[in-house]
Amino acid sequence: METKITIPALQKMKRDGRKIVGVVAWDYQIAQIADRAGVDLISVGDSVGVNLWGHATDTEVTVDEMLICCKAVRRGAKRALVSCDVPNGPGHAGAEAVVNAAVRLAKEGGADMVKVLGDPGVVEAIVRAGVPVFAEFHGEKLAADKLVEEAKRLEDAGASVLDFRHSGPVAGPAVVRAVSIPVIGGLGGGPWLDGRVRLAHTAIGYAAKWIDAKTETYGNAAKLSFDAFRALIDDVRSGRQIRGG
């Protein structure tokens, strides 16, 4: 088995100029497949509510639900580093609630680090509690120099990795140069960052929308599944033995 990915290993990848590859996943099977393929990071996102469970927003997901997902991914990921989102709920209850949630996700869920929106005070409190932090911040409305300042504040607060959303080709490289910790991007990232995170279900074309989608991705599990179900229906209705036992 390959050596397990650690936070120092990700930081070395940045220093060596080797891009970090992450996926967002929520279940044991996808975690196993992504881990075996060689991704460096699996992020257990609170986007599970919208993308897997059909919620209207991410805000409905609870810490207990995130623990279920985090434990499942942890069982499947033997090599990749596992990060788990602290969902929105604890944030409305104050910093102490966020810290308590972070500790639960690390201790009970097995997360190697937790992801939170980039409040330096909250980041510092979680790090003091002994949990590494993947700090998320967004670049849509701020100038590059302000984003560099924000990234430095998060690094100074103890963040181990940054998720720079909507970084852009100007602010993105500037932030990468300004901090020593890895800067990777989920939504709206780009090749100018230290790495990328992609929703696993988007990479494999899993959602129902991909049955008819024209957009190119790395696979189309939805269309494959649709065709398989149609073939199963046809076999059963025709009185034939079904495949696979």
CATH of 7-202, one of 3.20.20.60, 3.40.50.620, 3.40.190.10, 3.40.47.10: 3.20.20.60
Ranges of each domain in the chain: 7-202, 204-245
* Structure confidence at residue 172 (pLDDT): 95
Start-to-end CA distance of the chain, whole Å, equals 32
Residue 244 is predicted with a pLDDT of: 84
pLDDT score recorded for residue 142: 86
CA-based torsion, 123, 126, 130, 134: positive or negative? negative
What residues of the chain score a pLDDT lower than 70? 1, 245
**Residue 162 has what pLDDT?**
97
CA distance 222 to 205: 6
pLDDT, position 124: 97
Extract the tokens encoding 76.
Answer: 């499947």
